[in-house]
Structure 1
Amino acid sequence: MGNFLKEKITGVEYDVWKKILGKETLDNMIENWDDSGEEDEAVSESLARFCENPGRTYKAAWLEEQCFFPFYEPLLAFWITMMEECNGWGLVRFSENVRESLLKVLFSRLEGVSIRVLIREMKVLKDENKLSGSDTHKEYEYYVNHYLTQGEYRGEILKKYKALTWILYCQMKNFQSFIREFEAHLKDDRDEIADVFFEGNAPGQIAELKLGASDAHFGGRTVVRVTWSDGQVLYYKPRSMRNDQMYQEIYTWLAGECHMESYTYKILDKGRHGWCEAVLSGDCTNEDQVKRYFYRLGLQLFICYLFSVKDMHFENILACGEHPVLVDLETFPGRAFSGNDMSMTGQAFTRLADSVLMTGALPITVWNFDGQGVRLGAIGRQEKQKLPVRVPVIIRGKTSEMDVILTHPEFEVKGNLPALDGKAVDPSKYVNELVEGFLSAYRFARENKRSFLKKARAAFAINSRVLLRNTQQYHMYTQTAGNGFFMTQMWRQKLFFQNLYNSTRIPNPWKDRIISYETRALCQRDIPYFYVNGMRTSLFDSFGNEYENYYESSPMEAYRKMVERLNDRDAMFQERLIRLSLAMAPEDMGRMMNVRTRPGTGREITDKACLEGAKTIGRALMDFSMSSEDGKELLWITLKYFGWDEMNWRIDIQSMYLYDGLAGTGLFLSALAWLTEDMDAIRGFLRIRSQLFEYTQMLLKDGCKADTPTGIFAGEGSVIYTYLIWYTLFKDPFYLVFAKKHSQCVEKIYKNDTHMDLLTGNAGLMIAWEYLYDLTGDQHYLELARDAGKQLRDKALVMEQGAGFAAGKEQAPLAGMSHGCSGFIMAFAGLYYRTHCPEDAQIIRQLLAYEDSLYDPEMNNWADLRVVPGNQTGANDAVAWCHGAPGILLARRMLQKYCPDIEPEMVEQDIKRALSKIGTETYREGFCLCHGNCGNGWIVKDSNREFYETVLGDVLARIQSKEMLPQEKFNPGFMAGISGIGYALLKEACPQLPDILAVSLEQ
């Protein structure tokens, strides 16, 4: 089996394929290649001969407007001949207009397959100076008129690109079969169509057919939009519509039980295909209708949650007045996720995978490219966005420099939200109605579990689609496979699609068979289609292959478990996810911007008020925590941001680190427990402590990954730092033991560090080791810090003034604490204080010189050089712990305290500058420690008490009114969420708590 590829792939070609597939996948394919296939060389040769000497060609004005049109004239004529030979073209019901529309659809399919090859061949001739013309347009015309019009040349192309020829034939054959099947179904179903959709009257003639609104499955089959002569529109779907019927039956029943009217659209199910009427959108006439719309949507959101429907994106919901109408329900009913990872993190991911978020209806960011996210949820805002998948676009059309590039096209979400006075409403303003509908359905289901199980039996007796991969992935593969290199031979097509091995979670022993099916489908330019029967554990594909026992349990059994675990705590968890999602996607994005503002009218500052505020945060944290099945572990979902402005985000599981993970939440709960003896805080702290201990033991056994971050806030150094803080608070030597154990784990990988900075890299780890040396007296830790420092010094970039470190993805060294010079100064200042090494003093002076070169007198701040969308000046006026004056102030104070001999005048001047910058003029909407008011106020509390009390009073008022930025309110993290805000309140009541913003163990 392997001899075929061994002969084909040698030398340079082996190196090419190794880059495409990777060595492991390529070598495996060479050894185990199956060259059997269904391509018929005789058929391909027949098509090539026809195009070389066509007995007829298809001529049309619309076709002559297309690129390379002479190439397609014989191909379309060949298809017409195929239709005529089976009596499928002269049908009365297909008018000339309809026939032309079918040919346009076929042309788009053929062009998508062949365009890159034709461009490639034109460029070959151009490079050989065989195209005449005064400009690139004339050269293109010469190629079209003197080459593509020649049958011999067309034949040469089809013979040279054998894969192209076969795929073109498959496209035409499949399209012929589908159109014949559609016409037969139209003829056979005509009487029933009349009864269901036309009140018994004959439907008349077809005025228009539109195809291609959905992906092609089952041999080129797709949805057809049928417009009749009287203007009525039906949709033909080449699949059973029993799924849609069952959904409507369950929704109608549930809506009635919740005292709401429901809207249903007419459906004619014929087993393997079906028809449905078009849902006509319409506006609401008053506010009450909008509120009822979102209540009904909440009911349907619950059905999708309970039945594990995971494909409710914006195209699958239509706003019909006060009725949300769900369409295209081929994934109903779905199957609940069954994860085998029983760790706390594994259980948490299972909870998220089965949560209301995974329905696809809520506005969750699902992609990230160029620093931008895309929200495709059915309840998302109506706005222009860029598609997450890249699609081919012709550039420099009809020139000899024509090309196809992949780009992210813009699209606009429309029709998925109710409109009032002609304008789509902001769904975030109706979150209460949405939640009320969801919880009403939830309570009814919890109280009537038997009824829901009984109703579900009929639904799970049918087949429903399963998405093993994102269909966008298939599209990207087929687009790339259109490259001329892959189009020369079918074995190259098949081999290219073995990339599927490199991006799959399909388990063994089914992986090889499933990828073999996917390859076969993609070679015909079909999107692979999988389905499951609700009562069985097998998976099926569109070619009829069965993958026995693919699932451990049937979808019905998984649904039964979903119903059984309905409870108050889960309802609260789902409600929180709904509120979080809508809060993070308001129509007015300014409502979640951490912009500068004026202080509010706060509450009086007392120790009691601060402790009560911290307790409120502690209760909120425990209320939305997730517990393991045995109740011994805790975890929270958190918000992970990407992009500079925090407008793009995703929901994720907490890490183990201090910045946004368990260590940070544990620090707050431990301080709350220490000060108040609050029982919930004590229980939460003890469970987190146990989890961190287990985490350290796991790393001791299994080791850290080579690229694990090492920093003192968002890396393994933060776990060491957390243990040391607990040792400082509780005086229990056990914490010191675990700090040393965790250090053992990090010692094996710190030399791999590429982050370098305080937050995620070795600069932060150095500080953790310096403290370990202080508390243990073990010279080993000081030597580790010195070695990490030397490693960093060797990577310093010499600048026009001084030196810095280009940490992470930044192109230039930054100012500030988290990724900039001040963070490195903190690390080296601690080292110099303990060793008095002149090299450390030198790098500190260089860092000071470079950072001060970024000081801008007009801003009275150090320029933030991060690349910010919309700001090309490179001089952002950030005022926060992470970037700008506050963090720089902390570094200068450390130098003044521990390294008074290093540039004292420069340090004193910087302290004065920073203090004059921080105050009410830089007040923000956010209160987090990293980039909000609590962080800034904490840093200047001793020198600007009035400002700090303003911050504390304001945050206490916000806690009481629950009016905080959603990215803080719904974030359990320490540096960017409510745990850190709670810690700031505790530190006001008890100044003896460690000063974590100063990366200290002291107050």
Structure 2
Amino acid sequence: ALRPLVGAAWEQAAPHFDLTGGELDAVRAAFEEGLGDRLVRQSARTLVRELHRARTEGLLAGETPRERFADFVARLGTRQGLAALFTRHPVLGRMLGQACDQAAAATVELFARFTADRPRILTGLLDGTDPGPLVRVDLGRGDVHQGNRSVALLRFAGGATVVYKPRPLDQHVLLDRAVDWANAKVAGLGLRTPRSVRGEGYGWMEFIEHGWCSTPTELDRFYRRQGALLALLYAVDGVDMHYENVIACGDQPVLVDAETLLHAGLPAAVTCGSDPAAEALAASVYRTCLLPSLLIGENGAMDISALGGGDGGSYPSDGLRWEGAGTDGMRLLRAPVATGAGQNRPGPQGATAGHADHRAALLEGFRAGYDAITEHRAELLGTGPADGGLLARWATSPGRLIARSTRLYTTLLDESTHPDLLCDALTRDTVLAVLWTESEHDPARGRLVEDEIADLWAGDVPLFYHHPADTALKTSRGTRLEGVLPAPSLHTARAKIAAMGEVDRHDQEWIISATLAVTGANLSVGGPRSTLAGPAAPVVVPEPSRLLAAACGIADEIAARAVHGADRVNWLGLEQISGDHWAVLPMGGGLAQGYCGVALFLAQLGALTGAERYTALARQAVRPLPALLAALAADPGLGAAVGPGALH
């Protein structure tokens, strides 16, 4: 039904391509498929409502549901049919017309760049070998930004594939230099990065083929390298390294998307004061998303990390599915949506041991990478004002800032295609305005909302950039927003590297080990964890003094692991977050698993031993309780959700 729009968009773009006949055919096929899918996603809910209206009014010809559906499509695909549709839903007409213009402009831009850069691509990515003519193009390989621009794969007759990225590759240069430096410092590391060819605001990258490890030795090498990569990303504040951004190429974990290095990050919104444990976790190895990280939804949880994600299954939240597609009874359902397997795993699912079984290799690589950074940090940081070190020389270009979850943006894009919202732009604005509500206690993100909504109206996932030496942000349209970030990301990374040492390494290793430990608990495995069981311990009555000494030892360990803030203390622990799923998180206010229980233990031990250090720590732990209780009292809905039970 929407083919006339796709055809008009192609006619707009076609005169601008400088390609041979076969190559032009490949581009046209990809263009029509990609734009057609985009138009259908934006209009499907409205078209199904129109289908039902036509059916109930008896306007469709045909004896069977499929014949009546075909009649509807034929009627709608005429000039008269589309005009009537857009008269009833003018916002939809605007969105589809905009998508057509964007697709034409973005595709013309892509192949103008390809034509201009072809010699450099051959030299820089294909070892000077002519790959033959272009035979296939895969558009839309990822989120769309800045006017329907997204990653594309260009496939050639000779078997070669090249990756096009419509955003700057400057951060990949930083990654290349950092990895080269680490390879020179860590014996036998040999960590690989993809080759790239840069343009102004875009670039081309080597296509990394996924490949399995074939032996336990190769698996250990893979995880050792991933551990060293984790240490490097921790030092340079890399984030968003989820399972789609790392490809296992034999014994090499290859990072293929590095646009979020030296990531400044916006401060988290708080209503009851800051939490030092939350701040510590946000600055730890956990933020890289290389380690197991759960995405929670109404259907459970899904690991999205580069280390543990990518095993397929179902998305944790319901998605939109169509029942009776191709018939006049077609209707929308919300149901679990399958996710494809990632290419981040080094061994076939079920055929090799999981990543938790290679914990030793991962930690060995992490220690080697971490120790190399601390031992040679003067090279990275420089010796004084006149010498800023390698890090300052590497960090000369903007990087992407992740302001909010992409999941939130894509949900807004999907939900704002409801037909009730496509008759009046102001009505659709009320849905997108949820970003204002999300930012009620978040002044930094509140400054971004107008630009986020503008990007969403353009059909894009909002995009922001920052320079490592600045606190300003740039929007997708180039508008500069001054002073949004709390500090320049380069300064934050330099301070982190300067503070790295044995205590910090121990803390990071605990987080690594804890996340790997809960991975096994999060697996849906029936039966006991192990068939081995030791003999029962003899029943004895211990002496009270020995019990008290053991309790003091535990308390001292708790005190050593405490994370101190300006006016309170908290701990990182294992929190049950959804059903049988656990995660490493700051302790909450519960008694059984939270800081209230820790405070009770410390206070009781202090009373028994007379040790003030325990009671003082207990007082610090419960300082946020008055503000927490006030917040619960002020929001009855929140209080009801939390509940009054001591074990919550």
TM-score (norm 2): 0.89
Partner of 2:13: 83
- Count of aligned pairs: 637
Any residues of structure 2 matched to 1:391-790 within 5 Å, and which?
391-419=319-347, 423-453=351-381, 454-504=389-439, 507-508=442-443, 511=446, 514-586=448-520, 590=525, 600-602=535-537, 605-608=540-543, 610-611=547-548, 613-628=550-565, 633-644=568-579, 646=580, 648-673=581-606, 683-692=613-622, 694-695=623-624, 705-706=633-634, 760-761=643-644
Q: 2:315–2:336: 8 Å Cα contact kept in structure 1?
A: yes
Distance 1:336 1:98, change over 3 A: closer
Q: 1: distance between equivalents of 2:85 and 2:158? A: 46
Structure with greater Cα Rg: 1
Give the letter aligned to residue 100 of structure 2: M
For the 8 Å contact 1:345–1:635, the answer to whether it is kept is no
Q: Secondary structure at the match of 2:328?
A: coil
Distance in 1, Cα, partners of 2:117 & 2:139 = 19
Q: How far 1:210 moved relative to its partner?
A: 0.3
1:224 aligned to 152, 162, 183, which one?
152
**Aligned residue for 1:843?**
none
Match of 1:141 among 50, 56, 70: 70
Deviations 1:219-260 (A, max 9, x none): 111111011110011101111212112112202211321112
1:539-560 CA-partner distances (Å, limit 9, x unpaired): 1111111101112321111212
The secondary structure found in structure 2 opposite 1:269 is strand
Deviation at 1:613, TM superposition (A): 4.6
Shift of 1:446: 2.5
**What is the deviation of 1:341?**
7.5
Cα-to-partner distance string for 1:863-920 (whole Å, 9 max, x where unaligned): xxxxxxxxxxxxxxxxxxxxxxxxxxxxxxxxxxxxxxxxxxxxxxxxxxxxxxxxxx
Q: Distance in 1 between matches of 2:322 and 2:503?
A: 53
| 1:708/1:144 CA distance change after superposition, 3 Å | closer
- Residues 278, 613 of structure 1: alpha-carbon distance in 2 compared, 3 angstrom cutoff: same
Shift of 1:183: 1.2
Task: Give 2:386's aligned residue.
Answer: none
Q: Which has the higher relative contact order, 1 or 2, with Cα contacts under 8 A spaced 6 or more apart?
A: 2
Q: CA deviation at 1:707?
A: 5.3
Partner residue in 2 for 1:74:
4
Cα 1:510–1:580 shift into 2, 3 Å: closer
Letter in 2 for 1:661: G
The equivalent of 2:113 in structure 1 is 185
Which stretch shifts more, 344-353 or 172-181?
Answer: 344-353
Query: Using the alignment, how far apart are the partners of 1:614 and 1:590 within structure 2?
Result: 34
Q: CA deviation at 1:591?
A: 9.3
Name the Cα RMSD after superposition.
Answer: 3.2
Aligned twin of 2:292 = 363
Q: CA deviation at 1:606?
A: 4.3
Distance 1:508 1:620, change over 3 A: closer
| 1:276-319 residue CA offsets vs partner (Å, 9 max, x unmatched) | 11112223343222222211111111122222222011111111
Give the superposition deviation at 1:528: 1.1
**Contact 2:137 / 2:152 at 8 angstroms: preserved in 1?**
yes
Matched-pair contact (CA < 8 Å) for 2:465–2:475: yes
Equivalent pair of 2:17/2:24 in contact (CA under 8 Å): no
| Secondary structure of the corresponding residue to residue 465 of structure 1 | strand
Q: 1:111 to 1:242 in 2, by over 3 A?
A: same
Q: Which residue of 1 aligns with 2:313?
A: 385
**2:212: which partner in 1?**
283
Aligned residue type for 2:417: G
Query: Is the contact made by 2:312 and 2:342 (CA closer than 8 Å) also made in structure 1?
Result: no
Question: For residues 526 and 378 of structure 2, what CA distance do their matches in structure 1 show?
Answer: 43
Report the 3-state secondary structure (helix = DSSP H, G, I; strand = E; otherwise coil) of the residue aligned with 1:580: helix
Contact 2:268 2:442 in 1 (8 A): no
In structure 2, relative to structure 1, the CA distance for the partners of 1:477 and 1:686 (3 Å cut) is same
Name the counterpart of 2:385.
none
| Cα pair 2:168 2:200 within 8 Å, conserved | yes
Q: Which runs of 5+ in 2 are unaligned?
A: 382-388
Match of 1:333 among 255, 262, 268: 262
> 2: CA distance between counterparts of 1:708 and 1:171?
44
SS, match of residue 33 in structure 2: helix
Answer whether contact 1:191 1:202 (CA < 8 A) is retained: no
SS in 2 for 1:705: helix
Q: Sort the Cα spacing of 1:543 and 1:390 in 2 relative to 1 into closer, same or farther, 3 A.
A: farther
Aligned residues: percent identity? 21
Query: Could you say if the C-alpha distance between residues 437 and 343 of structure 1 is closer, same or farther in structure 2, counting changes exceeding 3 Å?
Result: farther
- Name the residue aligned to 1:198: 126
* 1:226–1:695 CA distance, 2 compared to 1 (3 A): closer
* CA–CA distance in structure 2, aligned partners of residues 666 and 157 of structure 1: 64
Summarize deviations over 1:626-659 as a string: whole Å, max 9, x none. Answer: 2236xx7532122222444x2x123332234422
Deviation at 1:274, TM superposition (A): 0.7
Q: Which residue of 2 aligns with 1:298?
A: 227
Report the counterpart of residue 25 of structure 2 in structure 1: 96
SS at match of 2:162: strand
How big is the shift at 1:188? 0.9
Distance 1:451 1:338 in 2: 30
Cα deviation per residue 1:942-974 (whole Å; 9 max; x = unaligned)?
Answer: xxxxxxxxxxxxxxxxxxxxxxxxxxxxxxxxx
TM-score, length of structure 1 as denominator length: 0.59
Deviation at 1:537, TM superposition (A): 1.0
SS at match of 2:519: coil
**Which deviates further from its counterpart, 657-666 or 475-484?**
657-666
How many Å apart are 1:594 and its aligned residue?
8.5
SS at match of 1:283: coil
1:611 shift after superposition: 4.7
Are residues 1:354 and 2:283 paired?
yes
SS in 2 for 1:655: coil
* 8 Å contact kept, 1:132–1:142: yes
Letter of the structure 2 residue corresponding to residue 761 of structure 1: P
Residues 58-91 of structure 1: CA deviation (Å, up to 9, x unaligned):
xxxxxxxxxxxxx22311221122124x433875
User: Deviation at 1:393?
Assistant: 2.4
Secondary structure in 2 aligned to 1:494?
helix
Shift in alpha-carbon separation, 1:593–1:313, aligned structure 2, 3 A: farther
Amino acid at match of 1:181: E
Residues 342/396 of structure 1: CA separation in 2 closer, same or farther (3 Å cut): closer
1:339 and 1:149 map into 2 onto residues whose CA distance is 48
Of 126-135 and 297-306, deviating more is 126-135
Distance 1:239 1:217 in 2: 9
